[in-house]
Structure 1
Amino acid sequence: MVSVRDTRHAQMFPVFTASEIATLERFGEERLYRDGEYLARAGEKGDAAFVIKSGRVVVTGQGHEGPIAIHDPGSFSGEISQLSGRPFLVDAQAEGDTKVLVLNSERLRHVLVSEAELGERIMRALILRRVGLLEDGVGGPVIVGPAENGGVLRLQGFLSRNGHPHQRLDPENDASARTMLEGVPEDEWPLVICPSGDILHNPSEDQLARCIGLVRAIDPNRLYDVAIVGAGPAGLAAAVYAGSEGLSAIVLDCRSFGGQAGASARIENYLGFPTGISGMALMARAFNQAQKFGVEMAIPDEVQRLSREEDGFTLHLANDEILRARAIIIATGARYRSLGLNNLSGFDGTSVHYWASPLEAKLCSAQEVALVGAGNSAGQAAVYLAANAKKVWLLARRGLEATMSRYLIDRIAAQPNIEVLTKTEITALEGENGILQAVRWRDGDGEESRHEMRHLFLFIGADPNTDWLGASGLKLCEKGFIATDDFASDAARPLETNIPGIFAIGDVRSGSVKRVAAAVGEGAQVVAQLHSYLAAQQAVPA
Structure 2
Amino acid sequence: MNTLGTREHQMFPVLDDAQIAIARRFCSGPERRFEPHEEVYAIGAEGAPAWLVLEGTIEVVRRDGLSHEAPITTHGVGQFSGEVNQLAGRPSIAAGYAGPDGCTALPFDAAHLRALMVGSADVGETVMRALILRRVALIAEGGAGTILIGVPDSAEIVRLQGFLTRSGYPNLVLNAASDEEGKALVERIGVLPEELPLVVCPNGNMLRRPSDVEVAACLGMTPNLDPSTVYDVAIVGAGPAGLAAAVYAASEGLSTIVLDERAMGGQAGSSARIENYLGFPTGISGQALAGRAFNQALKFGAEIAVPVGVQKLDCSSAVPALELAGDRRLQARTVVIASGARYRRPDIPDLAGFEGRGVSYWASPVEARLCAGREVALVGGGNSAGQAIVFLAPQVKRLHLFVRRDLSETMSRYLIERIAALPNVEIHVGSEVVALSGDGEGLAPATFRQFATGTLHRRDIRHLFLFIGADPNSAWLGGCVVTDAKGFVETGSSALPLETSLSGVFAIGDVRKGSTKRVAAAVGEGAAVIAQIHIKIAEMKGERP
TM over 0.5: yes
> Does residue 465 of the first structure (1) align with residue 473 of the second (2)?
yes
The residue number in structure 2 matching 1:145 is: 150
Q: Give the conservation status (yes or no) of the 8 Å contact 2:23–2:123.
A: no
In the TM superposition, residue 259 of structure 1 has moved relative to its aligned partner by 0.5
Q: Distance in 1 between matches of 2:534 and 2:411?
A: 38
Report SS of the residue matched to 1:401. Answer: helix
Q: Give the conservation status (yes or no) of the 8 Å contact 1:332–1:465.
A: yes
Report SS of the residue matched to 1:370. Answer: strand
The residue number in structure 2 matching 1:26 is: 25
Q: 1:163 aligns with which of 165, 168, 177?
A: 168
Report SS of the residue matched to 2:409. Answer: coil
Q: 1:276 aligns with which of 277, 283, 287?
A: 283
> Does residue 447 of the first structure (1) align with residue 455 of the second (2)?
yes
User: Aligned partner of 2:21: which letter?
Assistant: A
Q: Give the conservation status (yes or no) of the 8 Å contact 1:42–1:139.
A: no
Instruction: Give structure 2 stretches of 5+ with no counterpart.
Output: none
The residue number in structure 2 matching 1:456 is: 464
Q: Distance in 2 between matches of 1:508 and 1:19?
A: 48
Aligned pairs, how many?
Answer: 535
Q: Distance in 2 between matches of 1:309 and 1:453?
A: 51
In the TM superposition, residue 324 of structure 1 has moved relative to its aligned partner by 1.4
In the TM superposition, residue 82 of structure 1 has moved relative to its aligned partner by 0.9
Q: Give the conservation status (yes or no) of the 8 Å contact 2:41–2:48.
A: no
> Does residue 103 of the first structure (1) align with residue 108 of the second (2)?
yes
> Does residue 114 of the first structure (1) align with residue 119 of the second (2)?
yes
Instruction: Give structure 1 stretches of 5+ with no counterpart.
Output: none
> Does residue 93 of the first structure (1) align with residue 97 of the second (2)?
yes
User: Aligned partner of 2:539: which letter?
Assistant: A
In the TM superposition, residue 176 of structure 1 has moved relative to its aligned partner by 2.5
The residue number in structure 2 matching 1:67 is: 71
Q: Give the conservation status (yes or no) of the 8 Å contact 2:320–2:332.
A: yes
Q: Which stretch of structure 1 is more off in the superposition, 63-72 or 271-280?
A: 63-72
The residue number in structure 1 matching 2:245 is: 238
The residue number in structure 2 matching 1:497 is: 500
Q: Give the conservation status (yes or no) of the 8 Å contact 1:40–1:46.
A: no
Q: Give the conservation status (yes or no) of the 8 Å contact 1:426–1:439.
A: yes
Q: Which stretch of structure 1 is more off in the superposition, 147-156 or 55-64?
A: 55-64
Report SS of the residue matched to 2:21. Answer: helix
> Does residue 476 of the first structure (1) align with residue 489 of the second (2)?
no
> Does residue 533 of the first structure (1) align with residue 545 of the second (2)?
no
* 1:377-396 CA-partner distances (Å, limit 9, x unpaired): 00110110012111111111
Q: Which stretch of structure 1 is more off in the superposition, 188-197 or 519-528?
A: 188-197
The residue number in structure 1 matching 2:181 is: 176
The residue number in structure 2 matching 1:6 is: 5
Q: Give the conservation status (yes or no) of the 8 Å contact 1:47–1:83.
A: no
Q: Give the conservation status (yes or no) of the 8 Å contact 2:314–2:480.
A: no
After the TM superposition, which residues 97-496 of structure 1 pair with which residues of structure 2 at under 5 Å, given as runs? 97-182=102-187, 184-308=191-315, 310=317, 312-432=319-439, 435-443=442-450, 444-470=452-478, 472-485=479-492, 487-488=493-494, 491=495, 493-496=496-499
In the TM superposition, residue 37 of structure 1 has moved relative to its aligned partner by 2.1
- Change in Cα spacing, 1:273 to 1:3, as seen in structure 2 (3 Å) is closer
Q: Give the conservation status (yes or no) of the 8 Å contact 1:4–1:132.
A: no
- Change in Cα spacing, 1:473 to 1:5, as seen in structure 2 (3 Å) is closer
Report SS of the residue matched to 1:335. Answer: strand
Q: Which stretch of structure 1 is more off in the superposition, 65-74 or 101-110?
A: 65-74
Q: Distance in 2 between matches of 1:10 and 1:138?
A: 23
Q: Distance in 1 between matches of 2:144 and 2:223?
A: 19
Q: Give the conservation status (yes or no) of the 8 Å contact 1:51–1:77.
A: yes
Q: Distance in 1 between matches of 2:200 and 2:169?
A: 14
> Does residue 84 of the first structure (1) align with residue 88 of the second (2)?
yes
User: Aligned partner of 2:229: which letter?
Assistant: R
* 1:477-518 CA-partner distances (Å, limit 9, x unpaired): 111111111x22xx1x11001110100000000111111111
Q: Distance in 2 between matches of 1:105 and 1:290?
A: 13
* 1:186-208 CA-partner distances (Å, limit 9, x unpaired): 33210111122221111000011
In the TM superposition, residue 84 of structure 1 has moved relative to its aligned partner by 1.0
User: Aligned partner of 1:465: which letter?
Assistant: N
- Change in Cα spacing, 1:171 to 1:294, as seen in structure 2 (3 Å) is same
Report SS of the residue matched to 1:66. Answer: strand
Two-structure CA RMSD over aligned residues (Å): 1.7
Q: Give the conservation status (yes or no) of the 8 Å contact 1:3–1:132.
A: no
Q: Distance in 2 between matches of 1:79 and 1:441?
A: 48
- Change in Cα spacing, 1:235 to 1:22, as seen in structure 2 (3 Å) is same
Q: Distance in 2 between matches of 1:168 and 1:202?
A: 14
In the TM superposition, residue 310 of structure 1 has moved relative to its aligned partner by 4.9
In the TM superposition, residue 149 of structure 1 has moved relative to its aligned partner by 1.3
Q: Distance in 1 between matches of 2:476 and 2:110?
A: 34
In the TM superposition, residue 47 of structure 1 has moved relative to its aligned partner by 4.4
In the TM superposition, residue 398 of structure 1 has moved relative to its aligned partner by 1.2
Q: Distance in 2 between matches of 1:48 and 1:84?
A: 10
Report SS of the residue matched to 2:532. Answer: helix
User: Aligned partner of 2:176: which letter?
Assistant: P
In the TM superposition, residue 99 of structure 1 has moved relative to its aligned partner by 0.6
Q: Distance in 2 between matches of 1:540 and 1:293?
A: 26
The residue number in structure 2 matching 1:56 is: 57
- Change in Cα spacing, 1:26 to 1:309, as seen in structure 2 (3 Å) is farther
Q: Distance in 1 between matches of 2:439 and 2:342?
A: 26
Q: Give the conservation status (yes or no) of the 8 Å contact 2:223–2:304.
A: no
Q: Give the conservation status (yes or no) of the 8 Å contact 2:37–2:97.
A: yes
The residue number in structure 1 matching 2:510 is: 507
Q: Distance in 2 between matches of 1:26 and 1:518?
A: 39
Report SS of the residue matched to 2:63. Answer: coil
In the TM superposition, residue 7 of structure 1 has moved relative to its aligned partner by 2.0
In the TM superposition, residue 69 of structure 1 has moved relative to its aligned partner by 1.1
Q: Give the conservation status (yes or no) of the 8 Å contact 1:49–1:102.
A: yes
In the TM superposition, residue 434 of structure 1 has moved relative to its aligned partner by 7.5
- Change in Cα spacing, 1:83 to 1:164, as seen in structure 2 (3 Å) is same
TM norm structure 2: 0.95
In the TM superposition, residue 364 of structure 1 has moved relative to its aligned partner by 1.1
- Change in Cα spacing, 1:346 to 1:107, as seen in structure 2 (3 Å) is same
User: Aligned partner of 1:50: which letter?
Assistant: W
User: Aligned partner of 2:93: which letter?
Assistant: L
* 1:102-161 CA-partner distances (Å, limit 9, x unpaired): 111111111111211211111100100000000001332210012121110100000001
Q: Distance in 2 between matches of 1:3 and 1:147?
A: 32
Q: Which stretch of structure 1 is more off in the superposition, 406-415 or 63-72?
A: 63-72
